[in-house]
Amino acid sequence: MNAFERASKLAAMEEPPAADAVAPPPARFYWPGSLRGLFRGFAWEPTLINLIALVVGVYAGVATGLLSGFISLFQLLFFRPGELFAALSGRDPTWYPIFLHKLAIAHWHFELLAIGLVAIVAARLLSPVSTWKPLRAIPIFEKRRLRVVVYLLGFGLVLYYPLLALASFTRSFGAAGGGLLAIAEGAPRILWFLVPLLGGLIVGPLVRYVFPESGGHGVAEVVEAVAVGRTDIPGRVALWKSMVAGLTIGSGGSCGREGPVVHMGAAVGSELSRRLGLSRNDAALVLAAGGAAGLAASFAAPIAGAMFGLEIILGDFAVSSVAPIVLAAVTATVTARALAGAAGEMARVSYALVAPGEIAAYAGLGVLCGLGGVAYAAALHESELFFSGERNDAVGRFIRGTPVWLRPALGGLGVGVLGFFAPRVLGNGYETMNAAIVGELSLGVLVVVFVAKLLATSCTLGSGAPGGSFFPAVFLGAMLGGAFGTVVHALVPSYTATSGAYAAVGMGAFVAGATLAPLTGMLMIVELTGSYQVVPPLMIACGLSALLVQLVLGGSIYTRGLKARGVLRGALWPSHMRRLSVSDAMVHRPEVVAAGATLGDLRATLAASAQLVYPVLDPRGRLAGLLDVASLRTALYRQEGIDELVVAAELCDPHPETIRETDDLLLAADRLATGRALGLPVVAAEDPGRLVGLVTRREVLQALNRALVAKRELA
């Protein structure tokens, strides 16, 4: 009995203690016993998941800085090679002082180094054989898992400093501050044509022979991994994908950087999931957190990033899923912003609704962006078919005869031709998009750049070069919205905002349509504008855009290909199952047994039938219960001499869960999944005691398969 318990017992006594009572010993605090009590029943798994989300967020922010550094470095190497080599060789005496100045004014944030070192020391202390008393209370298994996570956290924070040095190096070249457009404008015009071709010639062999898994958009691969429960995304692939994507964008390829960053965040989460032995559900949650962190870091938009992870990657808004994804998105955004240039490249815009009637104009913009989203998805799909050689014409035969490693060069050739006449389509296009947001581009430029960017992005991504498809949708939305706003403002200038406001709303609406994620599109623009007044127009535009694309295509730029390959077939089940009723799937004349049937009668019935559950009917033909074959094993095979003593009414469940024939098939599937029985008696809608059929899991799956086959045949 410790001092506190002894004092409490004495205080509760009605009589004071005897004079010769032994005085209690002085209170002592024992680390092991106290912490064991504290950690007894501690929720280790949720805590570990959130720590992993924190680590994934750090690495996603670091990956954004790494990819930004690669892009800037390759842009200088391809478009300004003379300036780069003059600086590195010492022939340009003005560059070195500028570089030192950039290093001096960089945001070094030495507190990150301190936190990283503390994390590494803590990881050392978390050794399973540690003899330090405060750590003995942590279970050895959890200690090992925590050690891995803390080590990676410390290492990720230390990586911040070489990336900051790389960012200072690229910013020491004046043209780099204006992005690829400023760099390309100071280069010979022939490079606008040649550099994308050269980039494709380098990227093709790398993707084909050196890093074969580095191709693809990035987001679709993560969505597929979560959908099929495959959590084995190698971390090395994501690293090479970042490098090859940086080479693609740096050489003028028209794609976004968010795809490789999303892939990198998911790869870190996948690696941790495997090492720490997480369950499949927890691993999927960690992958979604990595994807959310990647988008949040790319756009400096933590709310939109979190919604992206929930809405697009995970497809689940459960409360338990929100905390890790939000934590990863916020951490990634803070880390990317700390790199001072890795985030925040999008211009901040202001917004105000000029007149209530202007909502009608934004509704029209939503429909237009929906049509644009259909065109974008169709262009990507047709481009992939084109570069894969699946077309049955002369061009298709020519592509089939072309080596696979050469096809990104063909895509680069297409981008080079477009870039020669419209250099704004080269690279990711941050500068052009910002110009549209602030209303600096004319109607003709907006329309031409929209068409050219649509074609250039199709050439880049369709040819197999790695890169993201999310940011091109943002870019196209800015061009389309800006063009629409220019026309509307010219027609009714007193009742409409300037083109910049429509460009901002168009960004969100186009993303909502292309990705079928209206909440992500809305929240991204809300974060960009910082204005609540933009919400009503965004809701109208994003909702109509997503609805139109869903009605026309039935899938997003991420899911169309996966559904065609059958990967996301299960994602279609709920909608199909809601359209089917129980009467479409049930057995209309099932085998039944009488309530008075003896055990011997049941043996004979079971021997002649393959049915697993049997409705039990009373003498009036009313449902009296449900007999499950699994529950009869003991009575059928282990008991003797009771064949005439036991009847079905004594063996069945007298209060079985039933379902009406008019209920939808999704409700039946849910009850079969959560209930004990293998089947459900189907009763009449107007009379719950009258049996009309039986439905089991087999009938549900058969009805669903018939519906899916019919849908494919109609398509």
Q: 347 in a domain, yes or no?
A: no
Average confidence (pLDDT) over 539-548: 95
Q: pLDDT band at 53, cuts 50/70/90?
A: very high
**Are residues 550 and 469 located together in one domain of the fold?**
yes
Lowest mean pLDDT among 125-134, 247-256, 327-336, 405-414: 125-134
pLDDT tier for residue 568 given thresholds of 50, 70 and 90: low
Residue 303's pLDDT band, with cuts at 50, 70 and 90, is very high
d(CA 170, CA 77): 11
Apex CA 505: angle with CA 302 and CA 325, to 5°? 20
Could you tell me which of 454, 307, 317, 339 has the C-alpha nearest to residue 109?
Answer: 339
Q: Are residues 218 and 366 in the same domain?
A: no
Of 533, 562, 591, the residue at which a domain comes to its end is: 562
Structure confidence at residue 567 (pLDDT): 55
- Please say if the pLDDT value at position 24 is more than 60: no
CA distances from 480 to 433, 502, 599 (A): 11, 9, 75
Segment 543-563 shows an average pLDDT of 86
Judge if 363 and 509 occupy the same domain: yes
Is residue 349 assigned to a domain?
A: no
Q: Are residues 392 and 532 in the same domain?
A: yes
467 and 253 Cβ atoms separated by less than 8 Å: yes
Structure tokens given for 541: 């535009």
| DSSP-assigned letter for residue 176 | G
Sign (positive or negative) of CA dihedral 651, 654, 655, 661: positive
- Is residue 594 assigned to a domain? yes
pLDDT band at 712 (very low <50, low <70, confident <90, very high): low
Average pLDDT over residues 138-148: 77
Q: What is the pLDDT of residues 394-429, one digit of tens each?
A: 777 788 888 888 999 999 999 999 999 999 999 888
Residue of 675, 623, 673, 611 whose CA lies nearest to 652: 623
The conformation of residue 252, written as its DSSP 8-state character, comes to: T
20 has pLDDT over 60? no
What local confidence, expressed as pLDDT, does residue 4 receive? 34
Instruction: Tell whether 308 and 416 lie within a shared domain.
Output: no
Minimal CA–CA distance to 426: which of 207, 193, 175?
193
User: Tens of pLDDT along 422-481?
Assistant: 999 998 888 899 899 888 999 999 999 999 999 999 999 999 888 889 999 999 999 999
pLDDT at 637: 56
Q: Quote the CA–CA distance of 463 and 472 in Å, as a whole number.
A: 16
pLDDT tens digits for range 360-380: 999 999 999 999 999 999 999
Does residue 48 share a domain with residue 35? no
Q: How confident is the model at residue 230 (pLDDT cuts 50, 70, 90)?
A: low
Confidence of residue 487 (pLDDT cuts 50, 70, 90): very high
pLDDT in tens, 587-624: 888 888 888 888 778 878 877 777 888 888 988 888 88
- The number of distinct structural domains making up the chain is 4
**Residue corresponding to tokens 């298709």:** 396
Residue 252 has pLDDT above 60, yes or no: yes
Residues 198 and 158 in one domain: yes
Could you tell me if residue 570 is inside a domain? Answer: no
Over range 483-492, report the average pLDDT.
95
Is residue 14 helix, strand or coil? Answer: coil
Segment 164-168 mean pLDDT: 88
Domain assignment of residue 353, yes or no: no
User: Are residue 185 and residue 275 in the same domain, yes or no?
Assistant: yes
- Residue 82 clears pLDDT 80, i.e. is over it: yes
Q: Which domain holds residue 129?
A: 44-338
Residue with tokens 């892939």: 263
Backbone dihedral angles phi then psi of residue 304, each to the nearest 5 degrees: -65, -35
Nearest Cα to 8, choosing from 28, 24, 22? Answer: 24
Residue 671, domain CATH? 3.10.580.10
Which ranges constitute the DSSP H helices of 277-316? Answer: 280-299, 302-308
The answer to whether position 571 is within a domain reads no
Token readout for 624 is 């009296």
**With 70 as the cut, is the pLDDT of residue 43 above it?**
no
Does the residue 674 lie in any domain? yes
**310 in any annotated domain:** yes
> How far from chain centre, in Å, is Cα 657?
37
More confident residue, 271 or 303: 303
pLDDT of 29 higher than 70: no
**Tokens encoding 226:** 């979560």
Q: Are residues 544 and 597 in the same domain?
A: no
On whether both 500 and 641 belong to a single domain, the answer is no
Residues 8 and 72 both lie in one domain: no
Question: Of 312, 77, 275, 36, which is closest to residue 176 (Cα–Cα)?
Answer: 77
Beta strands in 499-657, from DSSP E residues, in sequence order: 593-594, 613-617, 623-628
Residue 340's pLDDT band (boundaries 50, 70, 90)?
Answer: low
Residue 598, SS3 per DSSP: strand
User: What local confidence, expressed as pLDDT, does residue 136 receive?
Assistant: 65
Asked whether residue 370 falls in the same domain as residue 477, the answer is yes
